[in-house]
Structure 1
């Protein structure tokens, strides 16, 4: 039975991938800062929910030691923090963004590299953002750390080849939040070449594609309805 580890798997995209990997017969470990009622409803013998403080590196290392004895087939870095601003001096958020988007993935990749290498099809997938290449200045630090994660993904593709394949997915606007106004929805859709709310299925389809195609590593795939080339 293949084993996947997903960070940030308790809500939205992470929850969707968790649910669908379970439906496809995977064993799934979810690493989360806090669970959710939706994730708890999926509990079963093939789902392991681990609640940890992402900022406590010793806890993360201990967790990795506990699961590293067995092969790991898929590591999805989905945990993310979306905050605006550019204040690097006084904002605590800059350190948090760096840690969630770069330090945590680098630590997990390093600590679990041997477990991934023991798989017949070891894969790491980093969820970055189309803003990594064309940033939104209102979210400069978020965009910068996602760009750092994109670069990190390529570095690990070099480090872990050929045993482990490492790629990234760059999502655009996929599924609106409940608090999105009608006006903001219209504007987002207007900025996309494929102007409809896609939901999370296109991301999961891309995960399946990366798992199935054994000749792809070190690449980034945009899943954004063309938004990255239509927005200014």
Structure 2
């Protein structure tokens, strides 16, 4: 059985990716920090559908815990980890007017620096002769930026650059790609009516789902000929110009 570690897997898009990969026969290591109950619920759901999953807790802002994550995940899985999905992220609102060095540093640390280090440590832990794959989570707004969530957006630009650099640096043993989801889930605190109004307002008149994103993740993990690529799973929303984040519209 192939095993994948998914950071931030207990909720939202990480959860969708875990369920999809488990259905496809992957063993899943569910990483979480504070969402222990959600992680346990996910393990139970995967087991119910006949899959295999274990969980591992780590605070990715803690250097020691981050450094030990790949080792702990391998121990919990009882087998080498051959896929890493970097889904955990920080998402706090700021603008250029409210930007602080501390806020920017925290976003860069978790959203770009940590995935890069985990990719390196993942590659170092691969058994001799094994091939691995990494998928990073970006955001469709990189192709159509607006000034909300300034620090978050800047950190995702950094991760987009890191994705291509890692694809070059870790070849041929590790492929590195990225997913840029569109408006897939409601923003925290967003009214359902507002979400439904905006969700399918795309060139395809279709609102992408978490399952659409998960299928793209699996494609990138399993296709041996693709590296250094970003797939936008946004139903073309990046072709629309927005002055503000969807959560404020």
Q: How far apart are the structure 2 equivalents of 1:57 and 1:166?
A: 23
Tell me the secondary structure at the aligned position of residue 54 of structure 2: strand
Q: How far apart are the structure 2 equivalents of 1:102 and 1:178?
A: 22
Q: Give CA deviations for 1:56-103 in whole Å, capped at 9, x if unaligned.
A: 01111123334468532210000122222133436x432221111111
Whether 2:82 is the aligned partner of 1:73: answer yes
Partner of 2:52: 46
Deviation at 1:31, TM superposition (A): 1.7
Whether 2:92 is the aligned partner of 1:83: answer yes
Contact 2:144 2:239 in 1 (8 A): no
Contact 1:68 1:115 in 2 (8 A): no
TM-score, length-normalised on structure 1? 0.88
| Higher alpha-carbon deviation: 204-213 or 120-129 | 204-213
Tell me the secondary structure at the aligned position of residue 112 of structure 1: helix
Deviation at 1:155, TM superposition (A): 0.6
Q: How far apart are the structure 2 equivalents of 1:95 and 1:73?
A: 30
- 5+ residue gaps, structure 2: 243-249
Q: How far apart are the structure 2 equivalents of 1:39 and 1:67?
A: 14
Whether 2:227 is the aligned partner of 1:214: answer no
Contact 1:71 1:119 in 2 (8 A): no
Partner of 1:7: 7
TM-score, length-normalised on structure 2? 0.83
Contact 2:56 2:73 in 1 (8 A): no
- 5+ residue gaps, structure 1: none
Contact 2:28 2:54 in 1 (8 A): yes
Residue correspondences, number: 230
Q: Give CA deviations for 1:16-37 in whole Å, capped at 9, x if unaligned.
A: 1112222222221122112243
Q: How far apart are the structure 2 equivalents of 1:14 and 1:205?
A: 12
Contact 2:220 2:226 in 1 (8 A): yes
Tell me the secondary structure at the aligned position of residue 222 of structure 1: strand
- Greater relative contact order, per chain length (Cα 8 Å cut-off, separation 6+): 2
Are residues 224 and 117 of structure 1, via their aligned partners in 2, closer, same or farther at CA, if it must alter by over 3 Å?
farther
Tell me the secondary structure at the aligned position of residue 138 of structure 1: coil
Contact 1:157 1:164 in 2 (8 A): yes
Task: Choose from 177, 186, 193 the match for 2:197.
Answer: 186
